[in-house]
A and B are shown apart, each in its own frame.
Chain A
Amino acid sequence: MNTVTHPRPAAAAIRPRRRGQSPARFLIYLFLIFAALLYLLPLWVMVVTSLKTMDEVRASSIFAMPLAPTLQPWIEAWSSACTGLECRGVSVGFWRSVQIVVPSVLVSILIGAVNGYALSLWKPRYGNWIFGLLMIGVFVPAQVLLYPIVMFLSRLELFGTLTGLVVVHTVFGMPIMTLLFRNYYTSLPEELFKAARIDGGGFWRIFWSVMLPMSKPMLIVATIMQVTGIWNDYLMGLIFGGPELAPMTVQLNNIVNSTFGERAYNVNMAATLLTSAVPLLVYLLSGRWFVRGIAAGAVKG
């Protein structure tokens, strides 16, 4: 991802690629700006519509600037939009999602890190075998596993509970988290681990005092991946959350797709933006890390 990896000063001096091709450069920028506008269009539509009154939405084009911007749709979306069951806005789903995401992210990353640490440094004899089995999870469609997991969880009386959802997110996130940390710990110099062993460190001692403090880059990447992934999840929340723990994505879909009568587009778009706020913030604040995370997960997965 680093744009300055190649030492290119000498090449730039002799390179004829740039020699006065200004029409070509102009076309390159034209293409990129046009493409960028297309990618921004849906966001623009959401933002301007969410700031209009319904009268103005009906009267104006979806692309038009709001004439009299109002925050009323945002307030309504947050605190009083109806899902068909209740009229308490997306704030309910927001807090539920927070409640789900925080423990799920912590548990899934911790277990992934321990797995990766055990596999790459302690090398249990059956490790590769189990790891291979775990990799089934990368390509098996979730639908294949859903019903049996529902049954397992209801047998344990965890179905529809927060613990159950945390377990589900941990189980479905485990392959990629384990892979991420396994690859990272394998890339560290082995002497480090050996030295810690000679100093008499045990399994947990080495993990907590040596390896985990060294894993900051992977911890950041994993947090970004899991926060956005679990926040954006719909399927697991729909099935394992039930009505009590429906996350924000499920609630948003209920609000938008199950209202009767005239649809309040402005409120719906405000609700959609509110639902996207957390992953968008994570994305904008993390910048390079975000790309690095998906690249690490994608390329090696």
Chain B
Amino acid sequence: MTTSSPARRRPFNAWLHLAMLPMLITAIVAYLGATVWTFALSFTGSRMFPNSEFVGLLQYRRLFSSDRWSLAVENLAFYCVGSIVLSTLVGFLLAVFMDQKIRSESLFRSIFLYPFALSFVVTGLVWQWMFNPQMGIQAAVRGWGFESFTLDWIVTQEYVMLWVIIAALWQGSGLIMALILAGLRGVDEEIWKAARLDGIPVWRTYLSIVLPMIGGTVGTVLTLQIIGSIKVYDIVVAMTRGGPGLASDVPAKFIMDNIGARANLGQAAAASVVLLLTVIALLVPYYYFTKQQKSKRERAK
């Protein structure tokens, strides 16, 4: 910090500014510029190509009265809540079990984490087969003699999103486990000793003492999942292609279809802006919350 005192300000360094150029261009053109452009497009009647015909809020009105969009949003809400709650629960549970000084910990860790190395496309395809009524689990269990066993949710409109959630759970919960386990390892051993001396059962200690102590990790885990699950696209395309019908449509796919096949750029832009505003609305409170916590901690020191 001392180097930037005005008395010792360095002479203009051309190399430094040149080296910053890619970052400058990326930030200003690709991030800021593109966001502003999409925002502007959402107020135009652009079809296949952008045009500057100003239509006010028409695209947004159209968007909010579109059945397909509201279904996509509903699906996304279900997916976000479902996958975040389940992945966090499963991840936490696995982490707690892994934290019991078990043998072959690294083997278990590798097993729980390997799906994270696979792409969403692969995840979607694998689970498409697992849930395929003619070939997959249903057929196998029937083959074992349970003739009436039914597991055809992937071809059932009401339940298809649930399958996407399960596939995502398989892919991502290992990461949650690894992150929470790292958090648990950071908890002071003294806390455990004190809790044991007071005769508090292990599960109570985890829930009431340890969980609040790793609040930061849990916050990170939740933020990561919010950012990740709002973008959900590949896994749906690979697993269901948005079907059956439009039953597993999601906003990211709605946007892609409107940019591409449906040639409705203005509509896609409006949907993108709504998606972006949702992310901001979800993350800003979290950002302020962690900032407050940090300043509280600093004041406590």
Secondary structure of the B side of the interface?
A: helix
Q: Taking the complex as formed, is B17 at the interface, i.e. its CB lies under 8 A from any CB of chain A?
A: yes
Q: For B118, what are the chain A residues with a Cβ–Cβ distance below 8 Å?
A: 232, 276, 279-280
**A174 B120 Cβ-Cβ under 8 A:** no
Q: For B259, what are the chain A residues with a Cβ–Cβ distance below 8 Å?
A: 146-147
User: In whole angstroms, what is the CA distance A58 to B189 when docked?
Assistant: 55
Minimum distance in angstroms from B126 CB to a CB of chain A: 5
**A151 B24 Cβ-Cβ under 8 A:** no
User: In whole angstroms, what is the CA distance A294 to B19 when docked?
Assistant: 27
Tally A residues with Cβ within 8 Å of B. Answer: 95
User: In whole angstroms, what is the CA distance A258 to B139 when docked?
Assistant: 23
Q: For A171, what are the chain B residues with a Cβ–Cβ distance below 8 Å?
A: 26, 30
Minimum distance in angstroms from A181 CB to a CB of chain B: 12
User: In whole angstroms, what is the CA distance A25 to B230 when docked?
Assistant: 39
Minimum distance in angstroms from B17 CB to a CB of chain A: 7
Q: Taking the complex as formed, is A69 at the interface, i.e. its CB lies under 8 A from any CB of chain B?
A: no
**B178 A145 Cβ-Cβ under 8 A:** no
Q: Taking the complex as formed, is B55 at the interface, i.e. its CB lies under 8 A from any CB of chain A?
A: no
Question: A111, A144, A231, A291: which contacts B276 (Cβ < 8 A)?
Answer: A144
Q: Taking the complex as formed, is B158 at the interface, i.e. its CB lies under 8 A from any CB of chain A?
A: no
Question: A63, A134, A151, A235: which contacts B50 (Cβ < 8 A)?
Answer: A151
Q: Which residues 89-146 of A sit at the B interface, judged by CB distance below 8 A?
A: 111, 114-115, 118, 122-124, 127, 130-131, 133-134, 136-146
Q: Taking the complex as formed, is B52 at the interface, i.e. its CB lies under 8 A from any CB of chain A?
A: no
Question: A28, A39, A139, A272: which contacts B279 (Cβ < 8 A)?
Answer: A139
**A57 B135 Cβ-Cβ under 8 A:** yes
Tally B residues with Cβ within 8 Å of A. Answer: 99
Minimum distance in angstroms from A125 CB to a CB of chain B: 8
**B112 A39 Cβ-Cβ under 8 A:** yes
**B23 A202 Cβ-Cβ under 8 A:** no
Q: For A111, what are the chain B residues with a Cβ–Cβ distance below 8 Å?
A: 22-23
**Chain B, 252-275, contact with A by CB distance < 8 Å: what is the 0/1 string?**
100110010000010011011101
**B16 A42 Cβ-Cβ under 8 A:** no
**Contact segment of B65-73, B78-86, B93-101, B149-157:** B93-101
**B117 A283 Cβ-Cβ under 8 A:** yes
Q: For B137, what are the chain A residues with a Cβ–Cβ distance below 8 Å?
A: 62
Q: For A15, what are the chain B residues with a Cβ–Cβ distance below 8 Å?
A: 193, 196
Q: For B16, what are the chain A residues with a Cβ–Cβ distance below 8 Å?
A: 118, 122, 124, 203
Q: Which residues 185-236 of A sit at the B interface, judged by CB distance below 8 A?
A: 194, 202-204, 228, 231-235
**B256 A203 Cβ-Cβ under 8 A:** no
**Contact segment of B32-40, B56-64, B290-298:** B32-40
Q: Taking the complex as formed, is A245 at the interface, i.e. its CB lies under 8 A from any CB of chain B?
A: no
Which residue in chain A gives the minimum CB-CB distance to B271? A143
Question: B19, B119, B220: which contacts A275 (Cβ < 8 A)?
Answer: B119
Known: A62-B139, A234-B119, A276-B119. A148 touches B125 (CB 8 A): no
Question: A31, A139, A265, A284: which contacts B97 (Cβ < 8 A)?
Answer: A31
Secondary structure of the A side of the interface?
A: helix
**B24 A136 Cβ-Cβ under 8 A:** no
User: In whole angstroms, what is the CA distance A152 to B25 when docked?
Assistant: 12
**B4 A28 Cβ-Cβ under 8 A:** no
**A144 B272 Cβ-Cβ under 8 A:** yes
Query: 12 interchain pairs (CB within 8 A)?
Result: A35-B94, A39-B174, A42-B130, A61-B140, A111-B23, A115-B20, A115-B22, A136-B27, A149-B34, A152-B34, A171-B26, A295-B178
B residues lining the A interface (CB < 8 Å): 3-4, 13, 15-17, 19-20, 22-24, 26-35, 37-38, 41, 50, 94, 97-98, 100-102, 105-106, 108-122, 125-127, 129-130, 135-137, 139-140, 143-144, 170, 174-175, 178-179, 182, 185, 189, 192-193, 196, 202, 217, 220, 224, 227, 230-231, 233-234, 237-238, 241, 251-252, 255-256, 259, 265, 268-269, 271-273, 275-276, 279-280, 283
A residues lining the B interface (CB < 8 Å): 1, 3, 5-6, 8, 11, 15-18, 25, 28-29, 31-32, 35-36, 39-43, 45-46, 49, 57, 61-63, 111, 114-115, 118, 122-124, 127, 130-131, 133-134, 136-149, 151-152, 170-171, 174, 178, 194, 202-204, 228, 231-235, 249, 252-253, 256-257, 265, 268-269, 272, 275-276, 279-280, 282-284, 287, 290-291, 294-295, 298-299, 301
8 interchain residue pairs of minimum CB distance: A232-B119, A148-B34, A283-B117, A203-B15, A61-B140, A133-B27, A148-B37, A145-B34
